[in-house]
Amino acid sequence: MRSTLLPITFLVNLIFSIVELLLSVRILLRLFGANPQTPFVNWVYQTTSPLLAPFTGIFPNPVINGGFVLEIPSLFALLIYGFIAYLIANLIDFVNDRLTVDSTTTIVKKR
C-alpha cells in the first residue's frame, strides 16, 4: 500500500511557478521601462504588488538611464519564493515517505 501526496506537491509547484512567472514578467517590464498605463502591464503590477509587500523597502531600486528600473526587491522575492517552494515540496516528500514507511511497516507486522 502506497500513500501518496503527489497531487499536493503538484499543486504547490504549480502555485509557486505561477508566482515566479508573474514576478519574472514584472522584473522584465520594469527593466525595459514598460508603460504602466497599458492594461497588461497595469494588471501585472497590481497582481504582483501583494507578493512584493513583505520585501518593499529592503533594497533600493536603481534607475538606469532612460527610466529603466532594476527592481532588486522583486529579484529578492523571486529567490525567497523559490526557496519556500523548495522547502514545502521537500516537507511534503518527507511526510509522504514517512506515511509510506509507516503503512508498509503496519502491513508487515500484520502478517
Domain ranges across the chain: 6-110
* Phi, psi (rounded to 5 degrees) for 64: -95, 155
**pLDDT given at position 50:** 96
State the pTM of this model: 0.80
Identify the residue whose cell numbers are 531600486. 61
The average confidence (pLDDT) of the chain is 86
Q: Report pLDDT digits (tens) over 52-91.
A: 999 988 988 888 887 788 899 999 999 999 999 999 999 9
Q: Report pLDDT digits (tens) over 95-108.
A: 888 877 655 555 55
pLDDT above 60 (res 41)? yes
Q: Report pLDDT digits (tens) over 9-32.
A: 889 999 999 999 999 999 999 999
Rounded CA separation 72/58 (Å):
9
Rounded CA separation 23/29 (Å):
10
Give every CB contact of residue 97 below 8 A, 6+ residues apart in sequence: none
